[in-house]
């Protein structure tokens, strides 16, 4: 996996609520855990923009309801500091549903997406309406 070229504060802890920013059918998500990383001894790891997490669908289509799904985080409320000194923050926490091959389930993204996600997931960047 390609490294991210900015300093991202990991602000999403297990239990955090996210909005689903694609048209896959899910509306509201709750974070279960981060995929591929562990936390300190006795705690679970936090997540940030560009991380792959496991979530349960709280509101939305009945096919995804209360089932674990794979999500990539595309926006977070906490500030992101880029290498050129620019700081970016969004007004909500949002993610996009992915399948097992890390391809997006939906066909379009509602709202902006951080550029750090496009560095790691090229197929997700292909359905983005705006990159910030």
Question: What CATH number is given to the structural domain containing 74?
Answer: 2.40.150.20
Closest CA to 121 of 93, 92, 101: 101
Q: Cα separation of 67 and 26, whole Å?
A: 11
- What residue numbers bound the domain in which 117 lies? 6-131
pLDDT tens profile 90-127? 999 999 999 999 999 999 999 999 999 998 899 998 89
Q: Is residue 88 part of a domain?
A: yes
Mean of pLDDT values over 4-18: 87
Query: pTM surpassing 0.85?
Result: yes
Does the residue 91 lie in any domain? yes
Is 11 a residue whose pLDDT tops 70? Answer: yes
Q: Is 95 helix (H, G, I), strand (E, B) or coil?
A: strand
Confirm whether 1 is domain-assigned.
no
**Predicted confidence (pLDDT) per residue in 19-64, tens digit:** 999 999 999 999 999 998 777 777 788 999 999 999 999 999 999 9
User: What pLDDT, on a 0 to 100 scale, did the predictor assign at position 8?
Assistant: 85
Spatial distance between the Cα atoms of 123 and 17, rounded to a whole number of angstroms: 25
57 found inside a domain:
yes
Contact 48, 35 (CB under 8 A): no
Domain count, the chain: 1
- Per the domain annotation, does 58 fall within a domain? yes
């Amino acid at each position: 996996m390609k490294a991210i070229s900015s300093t991202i504060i990991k602000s999403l802890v297990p239990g955090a609520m996210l909005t689903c920013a694609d048209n896959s059918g899910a509306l509201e998500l709750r974070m279960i855990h981060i995929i591929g990383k562990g936390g300190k001894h006795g705690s679970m790891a936090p997540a940030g923009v560009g991380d792959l997490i496991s979530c349960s669908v709280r509101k939305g289509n009945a096919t995804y309801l209360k089932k674990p799904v794979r999500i990539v985080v595309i926006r977070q409320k906490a500030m992101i500091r880029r290498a050129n000194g620019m700081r970016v923050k969004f007004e909500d926490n949002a993610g996009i549903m992915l399948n097992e091959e890390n391809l997006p389930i939906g066909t379009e993204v509602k709202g902006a997406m951080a550029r750090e996600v496009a560095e790691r997931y090229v197929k997700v960047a292909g359905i983005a309406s705006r990159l910030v």
